[in-house]
Structure 1
Amino acid sequence: MFKKILAVDDDNDILDVIRIILEDEGYEVSTLTDGKKVFEYVNNDKPDLILLDVMLGGVDGRDICRALKSDAVYNQIPIIMISASHNMDSFLTMPGSPNDFLAKPFDINNLINTVKAQLAA
C-alpha cells in the first residue's frame, strides 16, 4: 500500500520537484498551492504525512500546523514544515509544532530521509 503524502507550497516549481522526488521513492503525492484547502483535503483523503510551507500567500503554514496538531482527529499525521526562513527554532519547541523541519533549498537525500523517518515513527 502506497503511503500518501500531501505537499503544500505556493510555488508550483517546488511542488513539482517534491512530487517527482517522492514519487520516485514510491509514495503517492498530492499537491496544493492554497493553504485554505488543507483541511478539506485532509478530511477527505487522510494523508500519511504532510509537507507544509510556512508562507502560503496570505496563510501562515504555522497556523495550519497548530490547528491540525490541536485536533484529535489529525494530530497523529506527521507534519514536516518547509521554509526558506531558517529562524524556526522557537516554533519547533512550541505546542502544536511540526514533527520536523526542512530548510529551503533542501537537499534531495535529506528530504527523502526525513520523510522516511517520519513515516517510520
Structure 2
Amino acid sequence: MKPKKIFAVDDDNDILEVIKIILEDEGYEVDTLNTGEGVMDRIDEIKPDLILLDVMLGGMDGRDICKSIKGHSIFKNIPVIMISASHNLQSLLQFPGSPNDFLPKPFDIDNLVKMVGVQLAV
C-alpha cells in the first residue's frame, strides 16, 4: 500500500523540518514548501492527500491560498489543516473556503499526528 502524501507549507524551515520528521516517522510521505508562491502548481504536481498550511506566509495570506484550494474543481476535496500562532480557531473555520481543521502553534506532536489521521480517515 502506498503511503499517504502530505504537503506542508510554512515559511519557517524549522517547523517544516519537525513536521516532516514526525509525519515520515508515522509512515507518511511528506513534501514541503517554505513560501506561498507556487502552491497550486506544487499541489497539481504532487497530488497530496492532505495539506498543512500556515496562515502567515511572508507576504501571503494562507487563508487566501486555502480559499483557492477549496474553490478549485480538482483540489477542493483535499483536506486542509491550517496552522497558526496568531489566529484563533473560530475565525479560521468560519470564512468561505475554510480549512477542514486548525492546529495552533506551538503544536503538540500527538495532536498533529491525531489530526492528520482523522482527516485522512474521512
- 2:22–2:109: 8 Å Cα contact kept in structure 1? yes
Q: Which residue of 1 aligns with 2:101?
A: 100
TM-score normalized by the length of structure 1: 0.97
- Alignment-derived partner of residue 54 in structure 1: 55
In structure 2, list runs of 5 or more residues that go unmatched: none
For 2:8, the equivalent position in structure 1 comes to 7
CA contact (8 A) 2:71 2:97 kept: yes
Q: Once superposed, which parts of structure 1, at least 4 consecutive aligned residues long, lie more than 6 Å away? A: none
For 2:37, what is the secondary structure of its paired residue?
helix
Instruction: Measure the CA separation in 2 of the matches of 1:94 and 1:8.
Output: 20
8 Å CA contact 2:92–2:102 kept in 1: the answer is no
Amino acid at match of 1:95: P
Q: CA RMSD in A?
A: 0.8
Between the two proteins, the alignment pairs up a number of residues equal to: 121
Letter of the 1:111 partner, please give it. Answer: L
In structure 2, the residue matched to 1:17 is 18
Task: Letter of the 2:69 partner, please give it.
Answer: L
TM-score of the two chains, using structure 2 as the length reference? 0.96
User: 2:44 & 2:69 partners in 1: Cα distance?
Assistant: 11
> What one-letter code is carried by the residue in structure 2 that aligns with 1:67?
S
Unmatched tracts of structure 1, length 5 or more: none
Alignment-derived partner of residue 68 in structure 2:
67
Question: How far does residue 89 in structure 1 lie from its aligned partner after superposition?
Answer: 1.1
Q: Report matched runs for 1:77-88 at 5 Å.
A: 77-88=78-89
User: 2:7·2:32 contact (CA, 8 Å) conserved in 1?
Assistant: yes
